[in-house]
Amino acid sequence: MKAPWLASGAALLLVLGGALHGLPARGADGTQGSPHRGGTLRLTSVSAAGTLDPQINYSSQYMQLMGVMYDGLLTYPKLEGPAGAQVVPDLAQAMPERLDDGRTWVFTLRDGIRFSDGSPLTVEDVAASLRRLFRVGSPTAGSFYGGIVGADECLRDSARCTLAGGVETDGATRRVTIHLTAPDSEFPQKIAFGHAVILPASMPAHDLGEVAAPATGPYHIVSSVPDRGMRLERNPYFHEWSEAAQPDGYVDAIQYDYGLSEEDAVTAVERGQYDWMAGLKPLDRLGEIGARYTAQVHVYPLYGLMYMPMNVNIPPFNDIRARQAVNYALDRRAMTILYGGSGIAAPLCRMVPPGLLPGDGQCAWTMGADPDHSAPRWVRPDMARARQLVRESGTAGQDVTLIVPATATDTSMGTYLRDMLQDIGYHARLHPLSAAMELAYAQNSANHVQISLMGWYADYVSPSNFVDTLFDCDNFHPGSDSSINMSGLCDSVVQTLVARIRHEHDPQVMQDLWRQVDDRITRLAPAAPMISISYVDLVSPRLGHYFSTRLYHMTFSRVWVK
């Protein structure tokens, strides 16, 4: 019924996207003394996004917020364009010394930085924060920081984690030395990621939940009420040490409220009652905002995708033929339409989104193709082959529950996917969960989730964010809400290839090895990639100096309010 209207809305967004993508990157304006300084930025979302612990939360919604609160030794600069993907010093005064062929990294901490509670930043805070990653079970502790000397012991017994021999500090020189068991060519990128932020050494070794840790950035949380919202105000101890890494910020406060439906949030932002809303925009509003609110709409590409992880350790998807069947049956064009149209999404058959590896668009999971004979692009599903694979696997007739976030777009996609699962031979049901709960629930193997619908964005610009982070053996933690390898895959070939990449310095060799990892993941089919995605941002008419990066999305410290 809505297909022609959806196509029209998507076309409008495509025009908007093309125009905006052609804009040159803007230089950042200093905030001190700016006539735009002051006021409150008003944000809204359907719900909260989980814990306020920055070393545990892995949601794009909160990591975007935490980018203006917390700092690591290194960071990704709040700059538009390609510059935003390059690592720069943050709490470290310069890029680290790289010694012993990349097994040793030496950082020198900036002097004179304080947390929002007034306590000074010291090298002991750095060492304690690195240990805390393991003690609290950070989702990336194993895959990103498991190469630190002593990390193996921390992963086996987090309560006794010391990182002895892995992290050395010298208070007199403000030097922090990190030793790795083997070279890791991407270690600076991992240290720059948001989980490696530095907190006071006094932080407890458990999930902080609704308690906010003291911050080093320009803003800190002054109040938080579960399921209602939070308020951020200026950190009285902040002074700008690097405008690129952590600008001072224009607004004096950020008010973040929860509870409006997606439909109501769109209306509230259009009318200026809120300045920005988190999450996808309802399909039935895309044409409206693209036609009537053009000046308030911003479209930008992401290193991101929508996919369905399948649990390889429980029926029916412990049989590779059942996983292959889902990949062949998936109508990626339908998923593109349900997400918002070709202006903001495109069919995707691999677990690496466009722009990170050669061969964008290649597809093993379409009519007439297979992992040995990829097609140049996805054409259409092969339902006959999918049904045959289900029959051959002996899983036909089994019960399958699909977990999805309880948002309008995700539920629409989920309804379609449930019908697809039924069509290939399963007794399928749809189970929507609050967006704040779904990720943690799907990660925990104790919940026996068979298949789920997920969106995933790059932590930094590398294929590793998708084929390593999501399928690394060290990222599968049975019974934990922080087990980002939701498929439970642990493959020796993938592990060997990734280990070789971490020792490699030649970008061309690394790219070829990542291509081999991508091919292996495709063959094992632990997930069904669906679409690559762009993001549609809607802001209020009073918001100025709109600013976004592929990693931070809209940067709250860079925008102002009139």
pLDDT greater at residue 50 or residue 488: 488
Q: How confident is the model at residue 121 (pLDDT cuts 50, 70, 90)?
A: very high
Residue 249: pLDDT over 50? yes
- Would you state the pLDDT for residue 126? 98
CB 397 within 8 A of CB 427: yes
> Please, what is the average pLDDT of the chain?
91
Q: For the chain, which domains are there?
A: 69-192 (3.40.190.10), 302-535 (3.10.105.10)
Q: Is 183 exposed, middle or buried (0-12, 13-18, 19+ CB in 10 A)?
A: middle
Tens-place pLDDT, residues 210-235: 999 999 999 999 999 988 999 999 99
Distance CA 414, CA 409 (A): 9
Distance CA 384, CA 183 (A): 47
- Would you state the pLDDT for residue 84? 81
Residue 436: pLDDT over 60? yes
Nearby residues of 506 by Cβ (< 8 Å), 6 or more positions away: none
CB 523 within 8 A of CB 493: no
- Would you state the pLDDT for residue 290? 84
| Strands 527-538 and 297-309, bridge-based pairing | antiparallel
Tens-place pLDDT, residues 452-469: 999 998 888 889 989 998
Residue 17: pLDDT over 70? no
Q: How confident is the model at residue 134 (pLDDT cuts 50, 70, 90)?
A: very high
Residue 358: pLDDT over 80? yes
Tens-place pLDDT, residues 518-560: 999 999 999 999 999 988 899 999 999 998 887 778 999 999 9
CA distances for 295 relative to 63, 75, 81, 456, 539, angstroms = 26, 31, 21, 28, 9
- Would you state the pLDDT for residue 376? 96
Residue 421: pLDDT over 70? yes
- Would you state the pLDDT for residue 211? 95
Lowest mean pLDDT among 28-42, 221-235, 347-361, 534-548: 28-42
Distance CA 455, CA 405 (A): 10
Distance CA 486, CA 463 (A): 18
State mean pLDDT over 391-414: 95
The fraction of the chain above a pLDDT of 70, given in percent, is 95
- Would you state the pLDDT for residue 16? 40
Q: How confident is the model at residue 26 (pLDDT cuts 50, 70, 90)?
A: very low
Q: How confident is the model at residue 435 (pLDDT cuts 50, 70, 90)?
A: confident
Nearby residues of 429 by Cβ (< 8 Å), 6 or more positions away: 399, 400, 401, 402, 418
Q: Tokens 């925009």: give the residue.
A: 281
Residue 331: pLDDT over 80? yes
Residue 15: pLDDT over 60? no
State mean pLDDT over 160-172: 97
Q: How confident is the model at residue 12 (pLDDT cuts 50, 70, 90)?
A: very low
- Would you state the pLDDT for residue 525? 98
Question: Around 198, how many Cα atoms within 13 Å sit in the side-chain half-sphere?
Answer: 28
Residue 55: pLDDT over 70? yes
State mean pLDDT over 49-67: 92
CB 147 within 8 A of CB 180: yes
* Ramachandran bin of 538, using left for φ above 0, alpha for ψ from -120 to 50, beta for the remaining angles: beta
Q: How confident is the model at residue 117 (pLDDT cuts 50, 70, 90)?
A: very high
- Would you state the pLDDT for residue 9? 36
CB 400 within 8 A of CB 316: yes
Tens-place pLDDT, residues 300-311: 888 899 999 999
Distance CA 406, CA 414 (A): 9
The fraction of the chain above a pLDDT of 90, given in percent, is 75
Q: Tokens 């109040």: give the residue.
A: 223
Question: Around 201, how many Cα atoms within 13 Å sit in the side-chain half-sphere?
Answer: 10
State mean pLDDT over 436-454: 94
Q: How confident is the model at residue 481 (pLDDT cuts 50, 70, 90)?
A: confident
